[in-house]
Structure 1
Amino acid sequence: MTPTSKVLYASEPTLDLAEFRRMLVESGLGETRPIDDEARLKTMLGNANLVLTARLDVEGKPLVGVARGVTDFSWVCYISELAVSVSAQGLGVGRGLMEEASRQLGPAVAISLISMPDAVGFYERIGMKRVTDAFWFSRKH
């Protein structure tokens, strides 16, 4: 991908499971997601009610980014993944996916997420505010 490549952003609720898995791996999130548990990945994708993709506008429309979220489309949206292929990181794809989420959700819906430690600077650069009052029960498996 080059800085002049055109990226198409779209809602893609029926994203192919293999493409989703590949994007998790290519983005580096594969280390923190159950990429070898197909049933769990299918459930993660199937129960998200906001699935946005970033694809290059070239033959085959290769996937370079995914944002997956859960929302009520009225008050708040939780972004579960913002995954951008390493080859497209730093080229505006993550920002584009977050802007598309904001556009589709509208101005009345807040967006929240939990950042991976090495992505905190990205979220700050795109204007998200850091909050300290978040809480977490860890997974048991």
Structure 2
Amino acid sequence: MPPEGLSIDYAREESLDVDEFIDVLRRSTLAERRPVHDRTIMEQMVRQADLLITARCGGLLVGVSRALTDFCFCTYLSCLAVDQKFQRRGIGRELIRRTHDAAGPHTTLILIAAPKAMSYYPHIGLQPHPSCWTVPPRTAPSSGT
């Protein structure tokens, strides 16, 4: 649970400090699969997101959902991170729900699970999709793009 007397506050934020974003990714282990070493790319990821839904405890960012959406057909939830100390409290589920609501519940929400989270998503009601395909990057990320 959150520390005594503190609750989790959720919000849709129009902008987010990149250092806060990187910090919560590190505290969630999602940093293992994101270019947190390249500040320019991380700034672009935050700035160009269509939706940023946050979870804060006493002002500290403890969870974030970063999504790209057209607000009418599909929503790609690219980053879902919850501080390991705050996991198993429903924060991830609530971030997903709020992201889907903000994008439009008529959209299909798409998420590619991190290997460590494969068993989590069916537990909260997400359905596996047998025909998802990806094209890997052709080059290493460049902060000049």
Please give the TM-score of this superposition, normalised by the length of structure 2.
0.89
* Residue 29 of structure 2 corresponds to residue 45 of structure 1: no
SS in 1 for 2:110: strand
Structure 2 CA distance, aligned partners of 1:120 and 1:113? 11
- 1:109 lines up with 2:107 in the alignment: yes
The one-character-per-residue Cα deviations of 1:70-91 (angstroms, maximum 9, x if unpaired) are: 0001111000000000110111
In the alignment, the residues of structure 2 paired with residue 62 and residue 7 of structure 1 have an alpha-carbon distance, to the nearest angstrom, of: 10
Residue identity matched to 1:19: E
For structure 2, the residue ranges without an aligned partner over 5 or more in a row are 141-145
Q: Over aligned residues, Cα RMSD in angstroms? A: 1.5
Asked whether the equivalents of residues 75 and 107 of structure 2 are also in contact (C-alpha less than 8 Å), the reply is yes
Alignment of 1:75-86 (within 5 A): 75-86=73-84
- How far residue 3 of structure 1 moved from its aligned partner, in angstroms, is 8.2
1:32 aligns to 2:30 (yes or no): no
Query: Distance in 2 between the 1:18 and 1:34 partners?
Result: 13
* TM-score, structure 1 normalization: 0.92
CA contact (8 A) 1:3 1:91 kept: no
Q: Which amino acid aligns with 2:100?
A: S
Alignment of 1:1-141 (within 5 A): 1-2=1-2, 5-56=6-57, 58=58, 61-139=59-137, 140-141=139-140
CA distance in 1, matches of 2:50, 2:103: 11
Percent identical pairs in the alignment equals 36
Q: For residue 44 of structure 2, give the secondary structure of its aligned residue in structure 1.
A: helix
Counterpart code for 2:36 = I
Secondary structure of 1:22's aligned partner: helix
Query: 2:75, 2:100 within 8 Å by CA — same for their partners in 1?
Result: no
User: Secondary structure of the residue that 2:27 maps to in structure 1?
Assistant: helix
- Per-residue CA deviations over 1:9-48 (Å, capped at 9, x if unaligned) read 1111210010001011110011111111000101111111
| Alpha-carbon distance change, 75 to 25 in structure 1, aligned in 2, over 3 angstroms | same
Structure 1: which 4+ aligned runs deviate by more than 6 Å? none
Residues 36-66 of structure 1, C-alpha deviation per residue, up to 9 Å, x if partnerless? 100010111111111110011x3xx111000
